[in-house]
Structures are given as structure tokens and as C-alpha cells.
Amino acid sequence: MGGGKQANQFVTTSNAAVLNGEGSFALVEVEKDAVPINCAPIVSSYNEKIRPLLDAVDKLRNLMIMDEGIQLPTIVVVGDQSSGKSSVLESLAGISLPRGQGICTRVPLIMRLQHHSSPQPELSLEYNGRTDRTDEDNVTDDIVKATNSIAGGGKGISNAPLTLLVKKNGVPDLTMVDLPGITRVPIHGQPENIYDQIKDMIMEYIKPEESIILNVLSASVDFATCESIRMSQSVDKTGARTLAVVTKVDKAPEGLLEKVTGDDVNIGLGYVCVRNRIGDETYEEARAIAHELFQSHPLLSKIDKSIVGIPVLAQKLVQIQANSIARNLPEIVKKINDKLNYCLSELNKMPKNLSSVAEAMTAFMQIIGLAKESLRKILLRGEFEEYSEDRHMHCTARLVEMLNQYSDALHSCVQSDPKNNFLIEEIKALEEVKGIALPNFLPRNAFLTILQGKVNGISSIPIGFVEQFWTYIEEVVISVLMRHSDNYYQLQLCARRAGHNLMAKMKERSIKWMTEIVDMEKLTDYTCDPEYVAEWNRLMAHQKTFIDGVLDNEKRPSTITIEGIGEVEVEVLRQYPLMLPQAFDLKMRMAAYWKVVMRRFVDLMALHLQLSISNLVNKEMEAEIVNELMGPYGGGIERMLEESPAVAVKRANLNKSIRKLRDSKEVVAKIIDSIVTYGH
């Protein structure tokens, strides 16, 4: 911009963004005939090359492309309450806006100014999806009405924007967003957190790098303490995208020159000082008064003419806006394409929306087939590639671990310790079964009594293990079923129910079976395992030495160590010299036989569980799920056609985004075409 008087009197140049030969945007200077300012539109060199770009950006804004995370270059008007934001916009548009004390702007007001050649202005308001015509006389009232319908009649604010389109001869082509002013203290009828609400709204608009911050400051305040300055500094430290407008210069001309030349607050795009229309002045009157003020006021006339007046502000804004659009548009085009591709691929990844019973049946069979195969791998074959990271799902390995723990539990319990109460139990049992019979026959009853006691003592271990085992399998099976039926909500519900039912059944069956084994072990003492006799013989070889040791009246040892049993207490045994041989025999038979019993408990458990898992995976699971699906709560295969609420919402959102992005793509494609035609 040229400096000095000339620039104030005549607006001569403006920048326009055009597409250069390589397909990227560049700025060119466009010379227009100079027109005396008093009869000229605010920006005389309305530029035909910026217009389609700005139109495109406005169209993208209307399509709500910002919702897709794509930011548009936007001039955002911020300022403390009553700093004169609405007045500045009024001055730029040459129309009346609601202004004054208190909070007038309660929703984001997107103001689109468009020059048009007809002398007749055309105004319209868009909000909540409707468009209402209005005119200069009614626009203030209509904005108030629209604001009330968006944000309610009270003093509250809302995020839903209101768009005011002003087509008027001579206005600069600008789109700006006016935001509620920052207010510290809620007034009567305002929510307590009004400050935070407004601050959040402002931050949302000024945060994106693409936003240009038009900071409106009253000349009468200390800029450094201005809330709006602090906010814009927090997102734009160097001020590279901040422009300051100083209002009310007529009220506080003292020291203004120093304030704007000193720039203590980092305003990268510079200051413009203005005097807005006051009261009932017409725009022409106001412009003349402002012009006069900057010409002849003793203090204000000292300020360089390149930074005073509404025309200068308009000029700067048009330029900054054109720069910003030109800079950002290629990236926006790219972002639209990227986001569109992303949404399309997300949509592709989603499960097909089932539309017939045949489709549902196919999907069902596929899911069951895949789930069965996964379960076979992890439960039976030990192939873990589907869950390489998840050790919990490496079932064959975890099962062996569990079985080992089970075996340890059996072997370390007190019933399995032959040293415990050595021979005392045997002596008592022998005493209780004595009868009229020859001595020296080992009574089988005594053996069975002891055996039953011991088996009873350990019976909770296998039952507890079975429960633990099926709880683990239940987790695994349900997790696999859920993974494969991920996208079919109804099927998931069924599969989960079926899983629970099935596991309860399996658990019950195993417990029944285990109880039977316990009963079998209590009823009969039998084995064909030759190891039993061999072990008994080995142990019996120590019988004589042991008894001699116990009855040795000289040494009277308190403990004796027997090979294969360990060190045992013998003090009390001296009271039963006659029963010792039989008790020892009984003990050693039991010790040898108990090993057989323990082995049977572990072996049978392993075989039983293996068979149960195999049945579960190969037969029962599928039947149970089908039953569940066809049963009273399943609703049949047709129910599978219903998507989960989450999936349905996701699909709808993706489709909506895709529609929006396709429309946006069309918008930018059109302007790139039109720029190519204009530019050459």
C-alpha cells in the first residue's frame, strides 16, 4: 500500500489470487483507475479474481466443511465487550447492526460482504437451515430475532452461527465472523460460566492457523491488559496473523500515536485507527467526520494516513484475506481429497449391510466357521498366529500350566503326605475293625476306611479345578466369538448368551463327571498297575528295621527315617508294639496306592477336558448358538440384519461426511476451472 495522503484519498491497487501456469496460486497486483474517495465505494478495486475464491471458501463454510476438521481461512473479529466490534463491521458493510451496551452479539455472526453492481442492496439471513430476506431498515431487528431463535430470548450464547449476506454496491468482498465480546462478570440472567463459554468459542475460532484475528481495541484502554489481546497472543505469539483495529479514537486521542507506533503487544499485521459512526449519523456523514478528524485533529492528524480510516481497513482486510486464501487453498484441496479417500476406505472396511435372509445366513455361517477355526487353533492345535501378542489366548500352553498346578495341589495337600500322623490313623482303623477272626489277616475294611477319608479330603481340589478351567475357557470362547461377530450386534448378543449357557452346561457336566470319579475312588481299591506292587515291596523292605528301631529300648529314638517316606515321629508308637507290623503294612499299601489314585485324578482330568473342549468346538458351540438365535430371545436370523446402533451411526456419519466432501470437492474443482479461465 502506498503511504501518505495519496493512499488515503485514493485506493489504487489490490491484490488478487490467481492460478499461475503451474497450477498453484500466486498473488498479482491489479491496477485500477483511481477514484476520489468521497464518491467511491469503500474498496474501489473490487476484484473479480478474488471473488470466485472467496465464494468457494464461503460455499465450503456453508457446507460445514469445518466439521470434517478442515479449517478455512477466516477473519475472526474478537474484542472485549463494547470495544466496538459490531460498529467496525457496520462501518465496513455500511449497514446497521445491533450494537450498544451489554451483550448484543450472542451467536457467531458470519458476515459475508459482496460487492454487486446494482445500486439496490440485497440482504439475507441464514440460520438453522433457512434463508430469510431482509433489508437495511430491518436488518437490526431481524438479527435480534434470529439470535433469539438460535440462542433463546435470554442472555445466553450459542455456538450455532448466523450468516448475514450483504450484497451491496461498493462493499469490500470480505467474510468475517463476529463473536460475542469477552465479559468477565455475568449480568443478570446469564449463566455463571458465561466467561468460559465465550472464551471457548473465541478460542475455537482463532486457534486454527488459517484464521486471521481482527482484534478490536478501544483507544481508551491499555492494550496490554486487554483480554482479547491475551487470547490472541496465546494462539498467535508473534502476531503474524493478528491485525488490530483501534476504535473510539475520537474519545481518547491522547497518546494514541505512541500506542500504535510502540506496538507493545506484537501485532504482526499492524494497526488501523478508526472512528465509527455514532448515534444517528448516516454513513456518509460518519465517513466525512472521520476523514476530517484524521486530517485536522491536532493529535490524530499526526498518525500516518496509511493506518487510519475504514477504507484503509477494508483494503488491508481484502488483501490479507486474498493472501490467506491463496496460501491455504491448495492445502484445503488436498485435505478435502485426503479426507474423502479416508472416509471411503473406512466405509469400505465396514461390514456389508445385510439386506436379505440369504445374506444373513451366509454371514452367520462364515462367522461361525471362522470362530470355530480360531478356537481349534488356540484350544486344540496350539497355533497362535491370530493372537501372537496375547498370551492369555495361547490356550494349549495355559492348559498345561493349569494342569500342572492342579497336579501340584493334589500332591502337596496333607492327604498326600505319608509322614503325617505316621501309623496313628492306621492303628486306629485297625482297632475299629477288629473282630472275631484270625490275627494277621490284613482287614480290607481298614484300608477302605482310610482311603475314603483321604479321597473325601481331596475331593474339593478336582471340583475347584474344573470350575476354574471352564471359567477360563468361557473367557476365551466369548472373546473369540465377539471378535468374529464384531459388526453384528444381534449376533453378538446371541453368541454371548450361547457362550454363557454352554459354559454353564460344560461346567456342570464336568463337575458331575468328577464327582463320579471321586465316588469311584472311594468305592473300590483297584489297579492293574504293576508299579503298585513294586512300590509296596520297596517300602515293605524297611518294615523290620523300622519296627526294631521303634522298639529299641536302649536308644528309644524319637524319630526314624524311612527311605521313600522320610523322617517320622515314633514316640507314641511304642504303646502299640503288637499292631506295628500290620499298621506299617497298611500304611505302605496306602502310600503305594495313593500315588496311583493321584495319577488317575490327573490323567483322567486331562483326557476328560481334552474331549470336552473338542466336543465343544466341533459340535456343541454351533448348535448352542443356532438354538439361541432361533430361540425365544434370539428373534431368528432376520435379527442379524439389524446393525448395532454404533455401527449404524458410524455408517451414517461416514456417508454424511462423504457427501459433504464430494460437494466440497466439486466446489473447489469449479473455482480452479474458473480461475484458469480468468487468469489467462
Residues that bind Mg ion (CB under 5 A): 85-86, 104-105
Secondary structure (3-state) at 164: strand
250: contact with ligand GDP by CB under 6 A: yes
Closest to ligand GDP by CB, 86 vs 612, is 86
Instruction: State the sign of the Cα–Cα–Cα–Cα dihedral 389, 392, 396, 397.
Output: positive
Q: How far are the Cα atoms of 85, 163, 165, 551 from residue 110, in angstroms, in the given order?
A: 13, 5, 8, 110
Closest to ligand GDP by CB, 305 vs 454, is 305
336, 34 contact by CB (below 8 A):
no
Report the alpha-carbon distance of residue 5 to residue 306 in Å, rounded.
Answer: 8
x-or-dash string of contact with ligand GDP, 168-187, rule CB under 6 A:
-------------x------
φ/ψ of residue 30, rounded to 5:
-120, 120
| Part of the chain binding ligand GDP (CB under 6 A), chosen from 96-104, 187-195, 435-443, 456-464 | 96-104
Tell me which amino acid residue 140 is: T
Secondary structure (3-state) at 181: coil
182, 228 contact by CB (below 8 A):
yes
Question: Shortest gap between Cβ of 274 and ligand GDP (angstroms)?
Answer: 6
Scan for cell 509296596, then name that residue. 536
| Part of the chain binding ligand GDP (CB under 6 A), chosen from 248-256, 539-547, 578-586, 646-654 | 248-256
114, 173 contact by CB (below 8 A):
yes
Question: Shortest gap between Cβ of 275 and ligand GDP (angstroms)?
Answer: 4
x-or-dash string of contact with ligand GDP, 267-296, rule CB under 6 A:
--------xx-x------------------
Q: Are strands 242-247 and 211-218 parallel, antiparallel or unpaired?
A: parallel
87: contact with ligand GDP by CB under 6 A: yes
Closest to Mg ion by CB, 45 vs 87, is 87
Among ligand GDP, Mg ion, none, the one that 197 touches (CB under a kind-dependent 5 to 8 A) is none
251: contact with ligand GDP by CB under 6 A: yes
Report the alpha-carbon distance of residue 568 to residue 587 in Å, rounded.
Answer: 13
Work out which of 41, 52, 79, 253 binds ligand GDP, going by CB under 6 A: 79
| Part of the chain binding ligand GDP (CB under 6 A), chosen from 186-194, 245-253, 436-444, 619-627 | 245-253
Among ligand GDP, Mg ion, none, the one that 100 touches (CB under a kind-dependent 5 to 8 A) is ligand GDP
Q: Are strands 74-79 and 174-178 parallel, antiparallel or unpaired?
A: parallel
Tell me which amino acid residue 321 is: Q
Among ligand GDP, Mg ion, none, the one that 112 touches (CB under a kind-dependent 5 to 8 A) is none
190: contact with ligand GDP by CB under 6 A: no
Total residues at interface with ligand GDP (CB under 6 A): 20
Report the alpha-carbon distance of residue 349 to residue 30 in Å, rounded.
Answer: 50
100: contact with ligand GDP by CB under 6 A: yes
215: contact with ligand GDP by CB under 6 A: no
Q: Are strands 74-79 and 211-218 parallel, antiparallel or unpaired?
A: parallel
Nearest-5° Cα angle at 129, 127 to 134: 50
Question: Shortest gap between Cβ of 251 and ligand GDP (angstroms)?
Answer: 5
Closest to Mg ion by CB, 104 vs 455, is 104
Closest to ligand GDP by CB, 278 vs 534, is 278
Burial label, 490 (beta-carbon count in 10 A; 0-12, 13-18, 19+): buried
By CB under 6 A, name the binding residues for ligand GDP: 79, 81-87, 99-100, 104-105, 181, 247-248, 250-251, 275-276, 278
